[in-house]
Structure 1
Amino acid sequence: MTHVYRTTAVLLLLLGATACGSSDSGSMPGMSHSSTSATPSASYNDADVMFASQMIPHHQQAVVMADSALRKATNAEVKQLATAIKAAQDPEIKLMSGWLTAWGKPVPTPGEHAGHTMTGMMSPQEMDDLSKAHGSMYDRMWVTMMIKHHQGAVTMAKTEETTGKDTAAVALAKKIQAAQTTEITTMQRLLRGLPTA
């Protein structure tokens, strides 16, 4: 009987160890996911701060342009792009604003575009011209401007990828680069099919 009890105890211990092992391995994906989470690390550098400080107003202008296209665009695919851009960039603005706050850095306010020094940013004149355009001319102008805008964001994202330190910021830069590169290709194709007059 004692032998049976011992065997049972050993089996229970083995089962317990296996269960623990499986729960540990099950938590690994979660652990790796946390490394690219939205939470900024305490370890960041000036490149991370510059990335967030410049990408926020860059995104804010893209959202303004997206809102404009949702009101004025005549092409359905332009409207779809505008919807996708706003859906992606609004949450990213909030995310980066949270990082700057956590790092004790100032958060750019809407309309504060740092003198339009960021690559790809539209000038006030360009934004005014866009607001005055209509019909197919508006669609072409919007797509042309948004391609340039996205190219600027990709350049900024690449800089963050090579010089940034914060893991969440670098992960977002990679996401922005991938998403906006894909959208640039879509817009270049779309532009070729839009009426010229």
Structure 2
Amino acid sequence: MKAVRGTAATFLALLTVTGCSSTPSVDREPPAASTPVRPGATQPTSVPTLSGATDAAWVQLMTPMNEGAVELLTMAADRSTDPRLRSWAKDLADAHRAELGRMRALLKELGLPSTNVHEGHEMPGMVTPGDLTQARAAEGAAFEKVFVVQIREHLEQSAHVSRSEVDAGSEAAAKKLAAALVEAREGELDGLRRIAT
């Protein structure tokens, strides 16, 4: 299980500042190539705001987080021996697919690439290829234990990061989606607690 270090707000800020997400700024305009510069004149610079970069960092993180979770949830819906867990996983996979549709639309709206800029990274709450391999190798109760640990971490961390987007973001569409996701995660975690005590 991947350790969660620091607050979600700090985590998003680090993504923004370090460029971990390779996030192109939605606030930055490309310089005009043909604009002459007078000697001695200062060229105005356009610096991305932290909040605009936070919106981009959030959606570029949440998209692969949900993609990995959908794979794990689909596996649980097919393989769990507990009918309640199987049904819950199927419903949650459907909900995550719907969220992905909204996230991909937001990526396009913000002018961000649809590619996974976190490919190969092990981010807190992200279901990685290694996690999926571990889940595939387990069976029965052992599989369900692995699944519950991984999906709980995903739900908790995606809620934390989304709360930070609600607090620190600036794009109305991103903040609205993040708020909906926080509310959804609270119900999803309650459902998981009822099934996997």
Mapping for residues 47-196 of structure 1, pairs under 5 Å: 47-109=54-116, 113-192=118-197
- C-alpha distance in 1, partners of 2:122/2:146? 21
Aligned pair count? Answer: 148
- C-alpha distance in 1, partners of 2:68/2:106? 20
- C-alpha distance in 1, partners of 2:149/2:101? 27
**Secondary structure in 2 aligned to 1:59?**
helix
Gaps of 5+ in 2: 1-26, 28-50
The residue type paired with residue 53 of structure 2 is: D
Contact 2:104/2:114, CA 8 A, preserved across alignment: yes
Deviations for 1:59-101, whole angstroms, at most 9, x for unmatched residues? 0011001111122111111112212212111122122212222
How far is the alpha carbon of 1:117 from its aligned partner?
4.0
Relative to the length of structure 2, the TM-score reads: 0.68
More helix by share: 1
**Secondary structure in 2 aligned to 1:116?**
coil
- C-alpha distance in 2, partners of 1:102/1:173? 15
- C-alpha distance in 2, partners of 1:180/1:77? 18
- C-alpha distance in 2, partners of 1:60/1:72? 19
Relative to the length of structure 1, the TM-score reads: 0.68
- C-alpha distance in 1, partners of 2:174/2:109? 13
Contact 1:147/1:188, CA 8 A, preserved across alignment: no
Deviations for 1:16-41, whole angstroms, at most 9, x for unmatched residues? xxxxxxxxxxxxxxxxxxxxxxxxxx
**Root-mean-square deviation (Å):** 2.0
Gaps of 5+ in 1: 1-41, 193-197
The residue type paired with residue 171 of structure 1 is: K
Deviations for 1:126-148, whole angstroms, at most 9, x for unmatched residues? 22111111112212221121111
**Secondary structure in 1 aligned to 2:108?**
helix
**Secondary structure in 1 aligned to 2:154?**
helix
- C-alpha distance in 2, partners of 1:188/1:77? 12
Mapping for residues 34-49 of structure 1, pairs under 5 Å: 45-49=52-56
Mark the structure with the bigger radius of gyration: 1
How far is the alpha carbon of 1:106 from its aligned partner?
0.7
**Secondary structure in 1 aligned to 2:124?**
coil
